[in-house]
Chains A and B, each alone.
Chain A
Amino acid sequence: MSGPRDEFLSEEDLDLRNLSDDELIAYWNLWLEQAQVTNSLDADLYSHGVFEREPEDPDQPSDPAPRAR
């Protein structure tokens, strides 16, 4: 298509198309490793399926985590 486009994702996101298969997997793995820093923030949350968060254990109350959705 010519002219301006409606933009949904950043150029950086879409640049995955220009990576070789090996580069894609290396970048993907690196991204997963770096994303582990947020594990404590989303420990009780769900990103798929029909459940939204882990039920709180009344015997072991914890600080509320931010909602993902």
Chain B
Amino acid sequence: MAEVNNPYLELTEELNRGRLRALLSSGQAVVVHRLAIMSKDGDWLLREDAEAATHALEVLSRRGAWYRFGAPLDLRWLANGWSAHLEFRRGPLRLRTDFVTRPPRIAAGWLQRIWETAQTSGTEVVGLEPLAALKLTNREKDYAVVGELARLMTDPRAQFLYSRSSRDLIELAAKHPAELAEGIRQRPLLARIGEGREALDEALDRERRTLMRANEDRLGQYQVAAESWAAEWPAVRRRIEGLPLLEAHRVVTSAAEGTLPFAPGPWGDP
């Protein structure tokens, strides 16, 4: 990584002081991969253990951060896919710091390999393939990023899974038929490569709309589960106004217990 004098890189370094705990993700990771600057907020994949959560809170406390509406930075919620959101000021900058430990569209085994790879390589940034998976959101602009991320991938199997270009896919298929056969099992639209660009473009559009709706449905589940917490939040926010972050964290956590279910679905608790 380059000399650290960017606020998000500095914060990542501080989060990882002494031990790898956090990988810079989403829009700021896209910058590190040198694709585009599209977001002013920071997002980290946090290791799911108590020391990592405590360290993150301590780092943010030293920066004078405060809680935004969201889940507490507490593993009982984070382990069920919730996100925690904090914010602080540095000079003219409003820096938002968002954390998840269970990112969407990344299964447990893959998540474990992400951490193992990061530990081995020493990287502090989410890699191309998981970043592409994270970007399969309900926002149109993210699919442009996924398309370019796929072009940076060196493994044709990964390119087959994430490419958003019919031209690229047709060219890849000509060069890598064995990897294509493997890819079709994971991404059915690849079976249409032989039908030409028009059919493939239609399949890519349909796949994008399906992915966008799936993410909307996922967010909808969390929104419903957070209704009571949303109603209570203005009062909680008033209670933590001006409190040091570690103290505010105790207030937020205590208020969320019994109001924000640990898991978002009807299968969750409390």
Listed in ascending order, the chain A residues whose CB lies under 8 Å from chain B are: 1, 3-6, 8-9, 13-14, 16-17, 19, 21-22, 24-25, 27-29, 31-33, 35-36, 38-39, 46-52, 54-60, 69
Contact = CB atoms under 8 A, between A and B. Distances in A.
Contacts of B94: 36, 39
Contacts of B7: 29, 32
B36 A48 contact: no
B168 A51 contact: no
A22 B3 contact: yes
11 contacts: A3-B167, A6-B164, A13-B36, A14-B36, A24-B2, A24-B31, A32-B40, A47-B26, A49-B85, A54-B69, A57-B234
Interface of B: 2-3, 5-7, 9, 25-27, 31, 34-37, 39-41, 43, 68-70, 81-85, 92-94, 96, 98, 100, 137-139, 143-145, 147-148, 164-168, 171, 218-219, 222-223, 226, 230-231, 233-234, 237, 264
Contacts of B147: 6, 8
Q: Give 7 nearest A-B pairs by CB, closest first.
A: A49-B83, A21-B2, A57-B234, A13-B36, A50-B222, A6-B165, A8-B147
A47 B231 contact: no
Contacts of B36: 9, 13-14, 16
Contacts, number: 133
Most buried by B among A17, A46, A49: A49
Given A33-B92, A51-B83, 5 more contacts: A8-B148, A31-B37, A47-B98, A51-B222, A52-B219
Interface SS, B side: mixed
Contacts of B139: 69
Contacts of B165: 5-6, 8
B222 A1 contact: no
Interface SS, A side: loop
B223 A52 contact: yes
B231 A55 contact: yes
Contacts of B144: 8-9
B234 A55 contact: yes
A50 B231 contact: no
A48 B26 contact: yes
B27 A47 contact: yes
A13 B3 CA distance: 22
Nearest to A50: B222
A59 B83 contact: no
Contact of A48 (B93, B98, B143, B222): B98
Contacts of B264: 50
Given A9-B35, A35-B40, A50-B82, A1 B171 contact: yes
Most buried by B among A17, A39, A69: A69
B6 A28 contact: yes
